[in-house]
Amino acid sequence: MKKLSKLYLSLVLLFLYIPIFVMIVFSFNTTKSRSVMSGFTLDWYVRLFHNELILKSLGNTIIIAVCASVAATVIGTLAAIGISRMGKRTKATVMQVTNIPIVNPEIVTGVSLMLLFVFFQARMNLEFGYITLIIAHITFDVPYVVLNVMPKFRQMQPNIYEAAQDLGCGPVRSFFKVVMPEIMPGVLSGFLMSFTFSLDDFVVSYFTSGATSQTLPITIYSMTRRKVSPEINALSTIIFVIVLTVLIIKNVAEKRKTSRSRLAALEESGRRASRRRIIKRVAVTAVVVCLVAGMTILTLGGFETEVPEELAVEDPDYYTRLADKDITINVYNWGEYLPLGEDDTLNLNEEFTNLTGIKVNYSTYATNEELYAKLRAGAASYDVIIPSDYMISRMIKEDMLLPLDMENIPNYKYIMDKFKTPEYDPDSRYSVPYTWGTVGIVYNSDLTDMDEEDIDWDVLWNEEYADEILMFDNPRDSFAIAQLILGQSLNTEDKRELRAAADLLKEQKKYVQAYVMDEIFDKMGAGEAAFAPYYAGDAVVMMEDHENLGFVIPESGTNLFVDALCIPKGAKNKEAAEMYMNFLCEPEAALEIADFIGYSTPNSGAFEMLDEEVQNDEISYPDDEFLNDKCEIFKNLSDDTNQYMQNLWTEIKTGG
């Protein structure tokens, strides 16, 4: 029986710690792969302290966690004191009410707090940011403090407080000298639990954060459209080591305290010694927290690193117009979609600030729908956003964008003619193209001997490759592939056609190994699948890391996508936002963007700077005839069609 118990315990510990061990191992990997260990390096730890976005998000997270947990500890402890003095029935009722936020789904808490803040925003000019985040975190932290402190009151002698007063202590002195030492372990546990929950929270933070207060979990989530940066593995390893160290110190201190308490019980000074040890524990914890916060704040700007020479602009005087205005703009972009000094690239936001004096608050999102929800809820104010084509058309239709003054964007002249007056913005009044690309098929040459010219969309239905096929894990892209095979428009709203596409996707399901998005990087890199549809720019990155991978844009046609710069309604600095957009259209800036993210540039000046080999690359830059005749851009579908497609997708995934 003992052997069985030990085996069971070992399995539980393996289940808990193997994922962490894998993360630590891959934090030292020489490549970005999360599945193939290529060698040992410390580069990701070095680059972590050059990553401005991650460091800023970490700083925000720690500041919010410290402030919220301290406030929650004070409020929760005072609440526990009050509850402990209530009658039995009242106490039980209040405790049940207090515990509701603990069992309540986080999404309900997050949405309700967001609506509350929106209500006060309209009446008190309350801005989403640090204040809303701290209030939200205090709200869900307080019940955990109460939960930790209340058992200490139950363990305490019921009349000890009154006895101290009978012996001449005043109320305040009695509390701090008698009650506080008894409940201090619960207070400390409540603080640590609050700090941990605040540090780790995503859902509530997602709904209550603003343009200037993005936390680390939100930043990590925003990277999932492409691939989570390996610097996150390094940061997670550092955090794990710090937490492990704190726990070891705490457990050693607890063990020593237990041993000494047995001896101190026979001594008159036992209680004073116990109080001193508790104070030391609090001090150690506070020092650790302050050290982590201090290290983060000190590194918010990163360390000095070698970067390419300064970026050249066409008209330097243009950028001096707002230099004395002390302006800050809020930019909301996809994760990993702008060079910020990583991998020896230029930090374009810093370059812009140095050139104009305009500061940039930069935050990121993972999906167009996330961007839309944030703007529609009025939860934050942004000056520049970068949605995709179909979302731009939806925002134009719903009057969510401001028309652009092209006189403030002279570099618009560099946008290629084929990307001007697009279907999603026919008059080019609301958007400036940022990047573009196509969808194709990534294939593993080790697992297939098919010639590239024979690979088309129907290969994803080939039973010969059953369980070696990956598929998009989102309805719009998956339906587009089925629609291309059936000869339908990618923007059809005919429900019979959508049902036919859904039936084809149902037929495919028996051959699909997994429905994935950014997981494709690891699965294709590890040789787990033969074929997978994905975006051309990301395929280029995969091919650079893995010689056995290739990419085909099917001759039958594909989706052409464009992400573009826009200014949402409610922007507070429109002219500065247009200056930022103009800066990103500088040929050298556009070239930096294209090099960093791997997607194609719509900027003719940047295109001319590319190597001839890249210019002639049919993956990144298919010829105009193919783009015009075989490619289609997504348009926004009606709410009814989107819901119908989503219902069909759920039916496909669940086998309904």
Give the 3-state DSSP-derived string for 438-483, with helices as H, strands as E and coil as C.
Answer: EEEEEEECCCCCCCHHHCCHHHHHCHHHCCCEEEECCHHHHHHHHH
Among 262, 280, 304, the domain boundary falls at 304
Are 335 and 353 found together in one domain? yes
Query: What pLDDT sits at residue 309?
Result: 59
In this prediction, residues 165-176 reach a mean pLDDT of 73
Query: What pLDDT sits at residue 31?
Result: 77
Of 406, 179, 162, nearest in space to 278 by CA: 179
Among 184, 207, 228, the domain boundary falls at 228
Helix, strand, coil share of the chain (percent; to 5): 60, 10, 30
Are 258 and 383 found together in one domain? no
Are 520 and 504 found together in one domain? yes
State the total domains in the chain: 4
Query: What pLDDT sits at residue 308?
Result: 47
With a cut of 90, say whether residue 253 has pLDDT above it: no
Q: What percent of the chain has pLDDT over 70?
A: 90
Both tokens assigned to 288? 């650790």
| Residue 168 DSSP code | T
Strand-strand pairing, 432-444 and 549-552:
antiparallel
Are 420 and 490 found together in one domain? no
Domain assignment present for 631: no
In this prediction, residues 573-598 reach a mean pLDDT of 95
With a cut of 90, say whether residue 266 has pLDDT above it: no
Among 203, 228, 253, the domain boundary falls at 228
Could you read off the pLDDT of 516-565 as tens digits, one per residue? 988 898 899 889 999 999 999 999 988 988 899 999 999 999 999 999 99
Instruction: Quote the CA–CA distance of 606 and 603 in Å, as a whole number.
Output: 5
Of 404, 436, 428, 438, nearest in space to 603 by CA: 436
Q: Which residues contact 344 (CB under 8 A, 6 or more apart)?
A: 305, 306, 307, 308
Are 393 and 518 found together in one domain? no
Specify the CATH number for the domain of residue 80.
1.10.3720.10
3-state secondary structure of 432: strand
Domain assignment present for 630: no
Of 397, 363, 318, nearest in space to 639 by CA: 397
Are 31 and 93 found together in one domain? no
Both tokens assigned to 652? 């496909």
With a cut of 80, say whether residue 300 has pLDDT above it: no
Give the number of other CB atoms < 10 A from CB of residue 632.
16
Please state which of the ranges 234-243, 381-390, 473-482 shows the lowest mean pLDDT.
234-243
Domain assignment present for 632: no
The highest-confidence range among 48-52, 125-129, 249-253, 579-583, by mean pLDDT, is 579-583
Of 508, 510, 569, 518, nearest in space to 539 by CA: 518
With a cut of 80, say whether residue 26 has pLDDT above it: yes
Does residue 215 contact residue 205 with C-beta atoms inside 8 Å?
Answer: yes
The highest-confidence range among 14-18, 88-92, 649-653, by mean pLDDT, is 649-653
Domain assignment present for 587: yes
Are 160 and 184 found together in one domain? yes
In this prediction, residues 433-452 reach a mean pLDDT of 95
Domain assignment present for 311: no
Are 113 and 43 found together in one domain? no
Continuous H helices in 156-223: 160-166, 171-174, 180-200, 203-208, 216-222
With a cut of 60, say whether residue 153 has pLDDT above it: yes
Residue 370 Cα distances to 215, 221, 225, 240, 378, angstroms: 16, 11, 12, 29, 13
Are 35 and 56 found together in one domain? no
With a cut of 60, say whether residue 28 has pLDDT above it: yes
In this prediction, residues 55-78 reach a mean pLDDT of 94
Model confidence at 505, pLDDT cuts 50, 70, 90, reads very high
Domain assignment present for 495: yes
- Cα dihedral 503/505/506/509 (nearest 10): 170
Domain assignment present for 629: no
Specify the CATH number for the domain of residue 376.
3.40.190.10
Query: What pLDDT sits at residue 499?
Result: 97
First to last CA, the chain: 45
| Residue 325 DSSP code | S
Instruction: Quote the CA–CA distance of 219 and 199 in Å, as a whole number.
Output: 13
Are 64 and 39 found together in one domain? no
Query: What pLDDT sits at residue 224?
Result: 72
Enumerate long-range contacts of 72-75, CB under 8 Å, 24 or more apart.
Answer: 72/137, 72/138, 72/141, 72/142, 72/144, 72/145, 72/190, 72/194, 73/145, 73/187, 73/190, 73/191, 73/194, 75/138, 75/142, 75/145
In this prediction, residues 257-262 reach a mean pLDDT of 67
Domain assignment present for 644: yes
Q: What is the largest CA-CA distance in the chain?
A: 95
- Provide the domain limits for residue 259: 1-49+230-304
Are 277 and 344 found together in one domain? no
Are 98 and 152 found together in one domain? yes
Strand-strand pairing, 631-632 and 558-565:
parallel
In this prediction, residues 424-450 reach a mean pLDDT of 95
3-state secondary structure of 105: coil
Could you read off the pLDDT of 532-544 as tens digits, one per residue? 999 999 999 889 8
The rounded mean pLDDT for the chain is 87
In this prediction, residues 355-377 reach a mean pLDDT of 91
Of 566, 131, 572, 585, nearest in space to 327 by CA: 572
Instruction: Quote the CA–CA distance of 632 and 558 in Å, as a whole number.
Output: 7
Higher per-residue pLDDT: 374 or 401: 401
